[in-house]
């Protein structure tokens, strides 16, 4: 990965095995790669038989805290956001691509700009509550609703 803001996110369930037989190449200042692994089929049975102490400890820690991540499907987010973006799927995809890995303050600035450009609907103050809720639930905007409402006008 190259770029000053490039990010790699990996969410793995306790019973998922690493898949090291691939090469990922990403370039660009804002490159973001997200990987979700949940109970993958094991491709190498020899490694599965020997679980070292650290792996066993990690599995115990993850299962004791019940840290299992459910991936948010991009299609679900897209469908929820479409009404706010005047049902323009292209704008929704562009918005999601732009905010990936973006700092919270920049996201709210982008929302303000898109509301002024009439790319995000202001009907019923959807940008104040509904938009924050969708982005927050998807993990794209992690700050509080109060913070969002202070920054989005």
The residue extents of the domains of the chain are: 7-64, 74-151
| Residue 52 and residue 31 in contact, taking contact as beta carbons nearer than 8 Å | no
| Residue 6 and residue 28 in contact, taking contact as beta carbons nearer than 8 Å | yes
Distance, CA of 105 to CA of 122 (rounded, Å): 19
Per-residue pLDDT of the chain (153 residues; tens, 9 = 90+): 566 677 766 655 555 566 655 566 666 666 666 665 554 444 444 444 455 676 666 666 555 545 444 555 788 899 999 999 999 999 999 999 999 889 999 999 999 999 999 999 988 778 888 999 999 999 899 999 999 999 998
| Residue 35 and residue 11 in contact, taking contact as beta carbons nearer than 8 Å | yes
- Residue 35: Cβ within 10 Å count: 13
Among residues 59, 58, 6, 13, the alpha carbon closest in space to that of 34 is found at: 6
């Amino acid at each position: 990965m190259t770029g000053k803001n490039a990010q790699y996110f990996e969410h793995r369930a306790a019973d998922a095995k690493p898949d090291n037989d691939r090469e990922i190449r990403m370039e660009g200042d804002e490159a973001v790669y997200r990987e979700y692994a949940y109970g993958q089929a094991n491709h190498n049975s020899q490694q599965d038989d020997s679980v070292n102490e650290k792996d066993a400890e990690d599995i115990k820690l993850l299962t004791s805290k019940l840290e299992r991540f459910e991936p948010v499907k991009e299609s679900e987010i897209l469908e929820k956001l479409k009404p706010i973006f005047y049902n323009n799927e292209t704008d929704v995809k562009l918005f999601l691509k732009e905010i990936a890995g973006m700092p919270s303050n920049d996201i709210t600035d982008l929302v303000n700009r898109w509301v002024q450009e009439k790319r995000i609907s202001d009907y019923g103050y959807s940008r104040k509550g509904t938009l924050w809720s969708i982005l927050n639930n998807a993990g794209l905007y992690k700050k509080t609703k109060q913070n969002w409402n202070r920054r989005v006008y």
